[in-house]
Structure formats: structure tokens, C-alpha cells
């Protein structure tokens, strides 16, 4: 119980009575007054001996730890990974034992923005998974794009410095559309493939739940006999791929800074658990040698048409964090966290990350003992001879803090010992024929091909996606004030695709520059449907949201039918009305709204239905938010279902009839499963 008593200044004191817990200091000392500091007299100075005040302020002053330099803006969730296929011929890792269930924590993030930036900029998304396996923690630290900007970790500080806020002015935040990034990128041809992905809709995901994840690097799987195979890791969303479009993403930033974080939290909270399948591409040295690219080059991918992705498990996120700071903010992912059966390759970008991440976590979390924070601690037994250090919470007993030792021979605890049979052992095999000889600061021959896979990616997109890529380059380069950068970047693009380069040049109103000289002539690779979002979107409403706009006089029967049909299709029906208290329907009952019209724009939904009476439509035609609701839904290529009475609102919003503008019946439910990209030339000019 708690008694509430006013203090002499009118302040509220909640005081514990009965079995109510007592407020204490961090050291357990009960606190008598949490409202007033200790002073020498009512109006006198505050006393230094007030340890309650000092501890409280001291802790508050240190509540913020340094944010991550990259991937600062993140959202996390707990879940479980279940292995669904027997891969014992490839890996001895216990996490892959068929039927094995392993706890996980997953953190999604943007890259360029700070912790206080928004969820929906054009940006790469981090996709990091911590597996708490029975053999120790395995961290698969990747992105939602299978390739990266650079080939060697020595360039990572330059990449981040270039894409982050410009050093002299501290803007722009969370965006690459500025001088320093494109100046650097245009001088680094190896970025070209990644730029194609970055300028595509892959960097505008509709939801964290509808994006793929990739381990990026080539790793190794090792079986019980010591045989090693190369492997690439893929996360495939069960809901399929889905993205927004650029104008929609801009408006989402205004509508909801926390759009992706909220979407993930609410999906898990409602029991609509996000799921991904884990797939692997496995290949050997013979395959690697036969390719026109180097499998150790992080700017390259292996086409799924050449090595199909084999599904071996399922990831389900089923629990939100209990505390954002303790878990999502303090979680520390390390590429060095691998378990027996998984090993590294000589990818130079990966090799640099193996050093960098440990150093970073030490700096951020302030102690070498960050592994003892609960979110980072393994779930299996662990022990070693590491001792002491800042914030040490373990209390080892006995004298054994070294080995070898013979203390056990004298009845003392001698501590743990190495295990040649069970322990992690680096694969004793060369990654390639050249792993010998002098130590050189050079790159392997095939690393010089910077354009073949960029061409593969562009030519694998459908016409709408290609238009988005070209338009993205135009937008980003239009923000560049250094005039020489634009033609330099277009000169690089001529090595990717002449039509793309011409479209970008036309969009910038510049002459097509001379083609940049390629360090290695690009080769044509067969287009791959696996690289396209549009070719992999699923015709489903499951896990999506449909906004239903109503007003006073809306027919109760029509509303009920639409809502039931939407929910039967697996989507969330969200009622939107001019006032959050709701609208009075045709049956005289008030339908409570899930969101107010002014705060629930159509960009937060996957499709919209507009169910109005004639009088309600007249009212909404005078309401700018309602007109914008319909206009944006049409402009963002979404399905719009409407009854006849709502037609004047559609007309005022410029909504034209097409396959995505329907009535309120089954035709709407079917249309709501799609975006209507053929509509786009009606609503905007693309490059």
C-alpha cells in the first residue's frame, strides 16, 4: 500500500505502508524523503553530506552512454530460432541441430543517423542477431543489403565520415544526399554496386518485418570431420519483401518519427510475431575459383540463380524488450562471437571488423566486462581466468586465476581447462591459392571489377524499380553543390548501364560525360529475379494495415463488412475519423476511432477504404487532411476502396479510375494486396 501525503510545500509524498516496497539508495539504504534535498535551514545551502541527492544526481548525470558511431538508431526484440533442416554434413554447430531451439535477440537499425533521428530515411538497415547457443554466443551482424560500399576495412572511417553530418556544419542528419558522401563515392568505384542497392527501394523498407537480412561476408561452415565449406547467410521475411516509395517515406517522417519501431513493437505486442527463414548459400573452392568475381569481396554477391538459397531454420520474434536501455541500447554484437562449426574467411572487410567491434564496445560500455550485462551474457555455462576490471560483478572463489596450474592436486579448485575436442578451432586450410608469400598492401585481381554486379543488380529490376533508382540518383546528386561530382558520378554509371547514365544526366540537366575508365572491364551476368523487390512481393494482406476513413452518417453495415473482410484476410483494420472520439453511424451508434484523421495520414497504411455518407463526404471535402488522405494514397500507388457517396472526395483529391481504385467488396480486398506501379507516371515525373 501507499499513503499519499502532502509536504509543507504542497509537494506529494508517496509513503510505503504495509507490504509496499521501500525506496532505497543503490546500496539498500532506505530513503525517508525523495522530494527534498538536505539543507542548512529552510532557505539555507544544500549540504554536501546529502548522499541521497548526490547518488541520485550522479546516476542521472551518467545515464547516457556514448551512442554507436553508426547504427545508433535501433530497435530490438527477443525471439527464438529453430533449426528445421539437417546440415550436420556441413556444420557441427549445435545451433543447426535439427529441432534445436535457441534464444535470440535481434537489433534492427539505420546506419547514418544518430540515436535521436527518424526511422524512415533512405538508408541501409542493420540486421544483427545474437544467438544464445548452448556452445556460447554467435553474433550474425549484417545488413538488409547483401553487399557493402567498401572492400577493405581500412576505408570504413572514410565511408562513415563522408556519409555522416558534414564536419563543419553538423548537417544533414541521417542522409547521404550531400557533397561529402557523393564526392567520396564518385572517387571510389568499388562503391558502385552498393550504390545501386542504396538508390533502390531496398533502403525504403515498408517495415522491419518485410525486409531481408544478409550476413554480407563469406563465412565458413565446418563439419565434425573438419571439412570446411564457404557460406553466405540470408534472412528471408515470411511476409515477403515490401517497400515504400520516396514521397511516402518523406511524409512518414513527418507523420511518425518512430514508424518502424512502433510497427515492430505493436506487431509483437498483438501476437502477430515477425518471422524470417534462415537460408544459406554453400559452395566450395572450386566454385569460387570459377567465378568472374572474388567471393572474398564484400562488394559482390553470389546470384541465387547460381547457388540457390537453402532454407535451414526459422527465426520468430515473440517478446518485446523489458527495458530499451538495458537491452536494445546495451546489447553488444561482435563478429568475433562464433561457435564451433562456424568460421571466418579472409574477407579483408570482415577481418577489420573482427578487431573493430570489440574495441568499440569497450569504449561505449566503459568496461571490458560488458559481457556480464544480462543482454550480452551467454545462456550456457562459461568460465575462464579473466579477473577484475571495472564493473566486475562475478565473484570467483579460490586462487586459480592462471593456468596451467596444479592446484587441484592439493584439493583446491583448479578452474576450467581447454578442450581440443569441443573447443573452437580455426580451420587449418587456406582460403585460396594465394594465401602464402609476402605480406603486401594490394588487392586480389578480381577485386578490381567494380561494375559487373552493379549492372547485374540494375538489369534485374523491373521498369518501375529502374525508374526509382535513376530518380534516386538524380535527387541525391541534386543536393551536391560540388559541380564536378555530378558528371564524375554519371561517368561511373556509364559502366553500369548507358540508359541509366543518360536518365540521370537528363534529370540533372547535364551533358553525358565521357565514360570513366574501369580498372577491370565489366562482364555481363544473367539477370536474377531474386534481386528485385517487386518480383518477390507477396500478394497478401497478412501482417499489413488498412486505414478505413469514416465520418458522421457512415453506413454501419458497409463499415462492418469492410472491417470484417480486412481482418479475415489477416490485416489490421484501423478506423480513422475526423475526431478520435469517433463518428455517429447510420444506426445511431458511435463508432470509436483508432486514430484521428489529422494524425493518421494514409502513408501509415498499406491500403485505404473510404466509407462515407453524402453529408459526411461534403464535410470531408472541406477538410484538407481528408483530401490529402486520398491524394497521398493514390500518389503512393495504394489500393483505394470507396463507396459511391465518397466519389466527390476522390474527385477533389485527383484520384483517377484504375485497377487499384475499387468499390468496397472483394475487389478491394484483392487490390489491397498490391501496389499499382503503372499509376506512377500519372502522379510524378521520374527520371
Q: Which residues are catalytic?
A: 71, 143
Determine which helix (DSSP H) or strand (DSSP E) holds 179, and give its type and residue range: helix 179-186
Strand residues in 194-293 grouped as ranges (E): 213-214, 219-222, 228-237, 275-283
Contact 618, 590 (CB under 8 A): no
**Residue 121: which residues within 8 A CB-CB, separation 6 or more?**
110, 112, 113, 174, 175, 249, 253
Three cell numbers written together for 681: 507516371
Contact 649, 630 (CB under 8 A): yes
Q: How many CB atoms lie within 10 A of CB 419?
A: 10
Q: Is 399 annotated as a binding residue?
A: no
Contact 469, 501 (CB under 8 A): no
Q: What are the Cα distances from residue 103, in Å, to 78, 268, 379, 382?
A: 8, 16, 9, 17
Three cell numbers written together for 267: 506487431
- The whole-angstrom separation of Cα 473 and Cα 478 is 8
**Residue 528: which residues within 8 A CB-CB, separation 6 or more?**
303, 304, 305, 456, 460
What is the bridge-based pairing of β-strands 545-549 and 607-610?
Answer: parallel
What is the rounded (10 degree) CA torsion for 664, 274, 144, 501? -10
Three cell numbers written together for 69: 558511431
Q: Is 353 annotated as a binding residue?
A: yes
Residue 30 DSSP one-character state: B
Find, among 107, 95, 92, 100, the residue nearest to 133 by Cα.
Answer: 95
Task: Using CB atoms within 10 Å of the CB of residue 177, give its burial: 0 to 12 exposed, 13 to 18 middle, 19+ buried.
Answer: middle
Q: What are the Cα distances from residue 264, in Å, to 138, 275, 319, 675?
A: 23, 11, 10, 22
**Residue 569: which residues within 8 A CB-CB, separation 6 or more?**
540, 541, 542, 669, 672, 673
Three cell numbers written together for 224: 565434425
Q: Is 107 annotated as a binding residue?
A: yes
Contact 110, 163 (CB under 8 A): no
In total, the chain counts a number of residues equal to 687
Strand residues in 353-467 grouped as ranges (E): none
- The whole-angstrom separation of Cα 376 and Cα 327 is 8
Q: Is 364 annotated as a binding residue?
A: yes
What is the bridge-based pairing of β-strands 640-642 and 607-610?
Answer: parallel
Known binding-site residues equal: 68, 107, 156, 353, 357, 364
Known binding-site residues for heme equal: 68, 107, 156, 353, 357, 364
Amino acid at each position: 500500500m501507499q499513503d499519499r501525503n502532502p509536504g509543507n510545500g504542497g509537494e506529494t509524498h508517496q509513503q510505503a505502508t504495509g507490504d509496499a516496497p521501500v525506496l532505497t539508495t543503490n546500496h539498500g539504504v532506505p530513503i525517508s524523503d525523495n522530494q527534498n534535498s538536505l539543507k542548512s535551514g529552510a532557505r539555507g545551502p544544500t549540504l554536501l553530506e546529502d548522499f541521497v541527492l548526490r547518488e541520485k544526481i550522479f546516476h542521472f548525470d551518467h545515464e547516457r552512454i556514448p551512442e554507436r558511431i553508426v547504427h545508433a538508431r535501433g530497435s530490438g526484440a527477443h525471439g527464438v530460432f529453430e533449426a528445421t533442416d539437417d546440415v550436420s554434413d556441413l556444420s557441427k554447430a549445435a545451433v543447426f541441430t535439427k529441432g534445436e531451439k535457441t534464444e535470440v535477440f535481434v537489433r534492427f537499425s539505420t546506419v547514418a543517423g544518430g540515436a535521436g533521428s527518424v526511422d524512415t530515411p533512405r538508408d541501409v538497415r542493420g540486421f544483427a542477431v545474437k544467438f544464445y547457443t548452448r556452445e556460447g554466443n554467435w553474433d550474425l551482424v549484417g545488413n538488409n543489403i547483401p553487399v557493402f560500399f567498401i572492400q577493405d576495412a581500412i576505408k570504413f572511417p572514410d565511408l562513415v565520415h563522408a556519409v555522416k553530418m558534414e564536419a563543419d556544419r553538423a548537417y544533414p542528419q541521417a542522409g547521404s544526399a550531400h557533397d561529402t558522401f557523393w564526392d567520396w563515392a564518385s572517387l571510389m568505384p568499388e562503391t558502385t554496386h552498393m550504390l545501386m542497392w542504396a538508390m533502390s527501394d531496398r533502403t525504403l523498407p515498408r517495415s522491419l518485418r518485410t525486409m531481408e537480412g544478409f550476413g554480407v561476408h563469406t563465412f565458413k561452415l565446418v563439419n565434425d570431420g573438419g571439412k570446411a565449406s564457404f557460406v553466405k547467410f540470408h534472412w528471408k521475411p515470411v511476409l515477403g519483401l515490401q517497400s515504400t516509395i520516396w514521397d511516402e517515406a518523406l511524409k512518414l517522417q513527418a507523420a511518425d518519427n518512430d514508424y518502424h519501431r512502433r510497427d515492430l513493437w505493436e506487431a509483437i505486442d498483438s501476437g502477430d510475431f515477425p518471422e524470417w527463414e534462415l537460408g544459406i548459400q554453400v559452395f566450395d573452392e572450386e566454385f569460387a575459383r570459377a567465378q568472374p568475381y572474388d567471393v572474398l569481396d564484400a562488394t559482390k554477391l553470389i546470384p541465387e540463380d547460381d547457388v540457390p538459397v537453402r532454407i535451414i531454420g526459422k527465426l520468430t520474434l515473440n517478446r518485446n524488450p523489458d527495458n530499451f536501455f538495458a537491452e536494445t541500447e546495451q546489447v553488444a554484437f561482435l563478429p568475433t562471437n562464433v561457435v564451433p562449426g562456424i568460421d571466418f574467411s579472409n574477407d579483408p572487410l570482415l577481418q577489420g571488423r573482427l578487431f573493430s567491434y570489440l574495441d568499440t564496445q569497450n569504449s561505449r560500455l566503459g568496461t571490458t566486462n560488458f559481457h556480464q550485462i544480462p543482454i550480452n551474457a551467454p545462456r550456457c555455462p562459461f568460465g575462464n581466468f579473466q579477473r577484475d576490471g571495472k564493473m566486475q560483478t562475478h565473484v570467483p572463489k579460490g586462487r586459480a586465476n592462471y593456468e596451467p596450474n596444479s592446484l587441484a592436486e592439493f584439493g583446491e579448485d583448479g578452474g576450467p581447462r581447454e578442450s581440443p575436442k569441443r573447443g573452437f578451432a580455426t580451420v587449418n586450410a587456406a582460403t585460396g591459392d594465394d594465401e602464402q608469400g609476402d605480406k603486401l598492401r594490394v588487392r586480389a585481381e578480381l577485386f578490381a571489377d567494380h561494375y559487373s554486379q552493379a549492372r547485374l543488380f540494375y538489369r534485374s529490376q523491373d521498369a518501375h524499380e529502374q525508374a526509382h533508382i535513376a530518380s534516386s540518383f538524380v535527387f541525391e546528386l541534386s543536393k551536391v553543390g560540388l559541380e564536378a561530382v555530378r558528371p564524375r558520378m554519371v561517368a561511373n554509371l556509364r559502366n553500369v548501364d548507358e540508359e541509366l547514365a543518360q536518365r540521370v544526366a537528363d534529370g540533372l540537366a547535364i551533358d553525358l560525360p565521357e565514360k570513366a575508365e574501369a580498372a577491370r572491364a565489366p562482364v555481363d551476368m544473367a539477370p536474377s529475379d531474386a534481386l528485385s523487390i517487386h518480383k518477390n512481393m507477396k500478394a497478401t494482406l497478412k501482417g499489413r494495415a488498412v486505414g478505413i476513413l469514416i465520418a458522421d452518417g457512415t453506413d454501419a453495415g458497409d463499415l462492418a463488412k469492410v472491417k470484417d473482410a480486412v481482418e479475415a484476410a489477416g490485416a489490421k483494420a484501423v478506423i480513422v475519423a475526423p475526431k478520435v472520439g469517433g463518428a455517429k453511424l447510420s444506426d445511431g451508434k458511435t463508432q470509436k476511432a483508432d486514430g484521428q484523421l489529422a494524425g493518421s495520414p494514409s502513408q501509415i497504411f498499406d491500403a485505404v477504404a473510404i466509407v462515407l455518407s453524402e453529408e459526411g463526404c461534403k464535410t470531408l471535402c472541406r477538410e484538407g487532411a481528408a483530401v490529402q488522405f486520398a491524394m497521398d494514397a493514390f500518389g503512393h500507388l495504394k489500393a483505394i476502396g470507396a463507396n459511391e457517396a465518397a466519389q466527390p472526395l476522390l474527385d477533389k483529391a485527383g484520384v483517377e479510375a484504375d485497377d487499384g481504385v475499387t468499390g468496397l467488396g472483394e475487389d478491394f480486398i484483392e487490390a489491397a494486396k498490391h501496389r499499382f506501379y503503372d499509376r506512377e507516371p500519372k502522379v510524378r515525373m521520374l527520371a
